[in-house]
Each structure stands twice: as structure tokens, then as C-alpha cells.
Amino acid sequence: SGNSAINLEDIEKYSKQSFPLCMRQLHMSLKEHHHLRHGGRMQYGLFLKGIGMTLEQAMTFWRSEFTRIMDMDKFDKQYSYNIRHNYGKEGKRANYTPYSCMKVIMSNAPGQGDYHGCPFRHTDGALLKQRLSTFGLTQQGVDQVMELVKGHHYQLACTRYFELSHNVPETEFLLNHPNQYFEESLRVRGG
Ligand code: SF4
């Protein structure tokens, strides 16, 4: 389940096989730019915490990317606080929980240079289509997903994407959380 321990080495594989599109996009952007802006760090960081990443693992994970474009000192000064904060170790010590689909879809729309948000809601249609086909959907599959996007049924579009990419005819869950998507994916893939 989502709260059991994970291995950092598995994140790459998980991102391709079992992350919802929103988190796969954040992961790819982090790998490409070795950086994510605040909105992305929050959305992705809390998701990772939700799949079982410990604070220690989170520090290692973010530091290893960010220090490819900045020195350790700058990372520690500017970003480690944020990560500790997500784990309730700083500030008001709130226990921050991962964002639901509704929150991702409805609040804090991404701007230029941001990679957070819900791709079904926030990504330009042409780019989204291209991405869906790059990620293995057939033309027919892409059309089915885009039809739901056009009707503003973002979570249903995401669910259809899940069905198509996991090769299941119909899911038995009502998608409302990116961490739920991940757990259902592990269930379907048997691991
Ligand atoms: Fe992520 Fe939810 Fe959007 Fe799917 S519907 S991409 S899980 S925010």
C-alpha cells in the first residue's frame, strides 16, 4: 500500500508505469531541468511522501537533482527547509497531506515555467494528444481520452488513460486522488 517503504531506485520505473500523468510530468521535468518551482515541489513532494518516501529519502532525492545545477550550500539554505516543512518538521509542524485531484485541478493553475497542475485540465490540447501517444496510447485511445477532456471530465479522462495504459477494460474505482491512482496501478500490475 501507499504507506509501505519504497526504494529510491524504483522511482524512475514507477514514474513510467504507475504514476498518474500529473506526477509523471513533474518527474520528467525535474529530471530534465534539475529543478522544479514551488508549486511543483509541493505537488510532487507531497505525492512522493504519500507513496512512502521518508524525509531522509526526500532529502537525498531532491538534493541529487538540484545539486546538478547548484552547490550543496545553496540547496541546503534555500530548499531543504521546504522539504522538512512538507514533513511537518518546520514551521507550524502541520502534517501536510498530498493534494487531491480536485485541489490540483481547481487551485493554483500553472504559469510559464511551471509543471504542476493536472495535464488533462492545464495542458494545451495538441501537446496533450502528442504526449498520450508518446506514452503508448493508440489513436483511438487518444481520441477517447480527448473526448472526455473536451467535456471537462478531467478525472474520467485520467481514468480512461489508466484503463488504456494498464490494459484493463474498466476500473472499479472512482478516481479522486493521484496517490489512489498509484496504489490502484500497483494493484493491477501486481507489485
Ligand atoms: Fe493527476 Fe488527478 Fe489530473 Fe489524474 S486527474 S492527472 S491523478 S490531478
Instruction: Say yes or no to pLDDT of 88 above 90.
Output: no
Confidence of residue 96 (pLDDT cuts 50, 70, 90): confident
The reported pLDDT for the residue numbered 2 is: 45
Nearest CA to ligand 1 atom 5: 155
pLDDT at 1: 42
CA of 102 to the centre of ligand 1 (A): 8
Inform me whether the pLDDT recorded for 92 exceeds 90.
no
pLDDT tens track for 67-86: 999 999 999 999 998 899 88
Q: Which atom of ligand 1 is nearest to the CA of 21?
A: 6
Alpha-carbon gap, residue 15 to 83, rounded angstroms:
20
What separation in Å is there between the alpha carbon of 77 and the centre of ligand 1? 32
Instruction: Give nearest CA residue, ligand 1 atom 3.
Output: 118
The contacts found for 38-44 with CB under 8 angstroms, 24 or more apart, are 38/82, 39/108, 39/110, 39/114, 39/116, 39/117, 40/114, 40/115, 40/116, 41/79, 41/82, 41/83, 42/86, 42/99, 42/116, 43/99, 43/104, 43/116, 43/117, 44/116
Instruction: Report CA 170 to chain centroid distance, whole Å.
Output: 22
Check pocket membership of 158 for ligand 1, CB cut-off 6 A. Answer: yes
Q: Is residue 120 classed exposed, middle or buried when 0-12, 13-18 and 19+ CB atoms within 10 A define those classes?
A: buried
Query: Taking the model in full, what pTM does it have?
Result: 0.94
Contacts 24+ apart (CB under 8 A), 13-17: 14/51, 14/182, 17/185, 17/189
ipTM: 0.99
Cβ(177)–Cβ(185) below 8 Å: no
Ligand 1: distance of its center to the CA of 76 in Å?
A: 31
pLDDT digit string, tens, across residues 9-57? 999 999 999 999 999 999 999 999 999 999 999 999 999 999 999 999 9
C-alpha grid cell, residue 23: 506526477
* Cα–Cα distance, 28 to 79 (Å, whole number): 19
**Hey, is 4 helix, strand or coil?**
coil
Q: Which residue from 100, 101, 106, 131 has its CB within 8 A of the most atoms of ligand 1, so it is best to mutate?
A: 101
Query: Hey, which of 18, 154, 182, 185 would you mutate to test ligand 1's pocket, going by the most ligand atoms within 8 Å of its Cβ?
Result: 154
Quick check: CB of 118 below 6 Å from ligand 1?
A: yes
- In tens, the pLDDT along 110-161 reads 999 999 999 999 999 999 999 999 999 999 999 999 999 999 999 999 999 9
173 with 181: CB under 8 angstroms?
no
